[in-house]
Amino acid sequence: AQSVTQLDSQVPVFEEAPVELRCNYSSSVSVYLFWYVQYPNQGLQLLLKYLSGSTLVKGINGFEAEFNKSQTSFHLRKPSVHISDTAEYFCAVRAYNTDKLIFGTGTRLQVFP
């Protein structure tokens, strides 16, 4: 079975500051990794994904994430955040041999002016 841990339930940050949202996963088989963003009263939108290849993945809205197999981590980063980045961010994992997409508990990013 797979599991995802997002250690930070809330991350407050000032506008134009850098941010890192942490994600660790557990799996006995190879996995695909994802970050999704959810704005209020909306569904989930894909930010970026790691399938294979380069461990540094770039996504939309200036976000990027790095896959670290030895630390089983997939942390999300942005060098300079905007007010509009205020949202809930979810890390997710899907094992190669299943159709189950498992989510972490989410991190609320709050950007202040």
Partner 1 sequence: ETGVTQTPRHLVMGMTNKKSLKCEQHLGHNAMYWYKQSAKKPLELMFVYSLEERVENNSVPSRFSPECPNSSHLFLHLHTLQPEDSALYLCASSQDRRQSFTEAFFGQGTRLTVV
Question: Token pair of 69, please?
Answer: 């197999």
Measured from the CB atom, is 34 or 63 closer to partner 1?
34
Under DSSP, is residue 41 helix (H, G, I), strand (E, B) or coil?
coil
Using only C-alpha atoms, the chain has a radius of gyration, in whole angstroms, of: 13
Measured at the alpha carbon of residue 21, what is the angle toward residues 23 and 5, in degrees to the nearest 5?
Answer: 25
Per CB under 8 A, the segment of 21-29, 63-71, 72-80, 104-112 that binds partner 1 is 104-112
Q: Is 8 exposed, middle or buried (0-12, 13-18, 19+ CB in 10 A)?
A: middle
**x/- map, 69-98, partner 1, by CB under 8 A:** ---------------------x-----xxx
**From the list 104, 107, 109, 111, which residue makes contact with partner 1 (rule: CB under 8 A)?**
104
Interface with partner 1 by CB under 8 A: which residues?
A: 32, 34, 36, 41-46, 49, 51, 90, 96-106
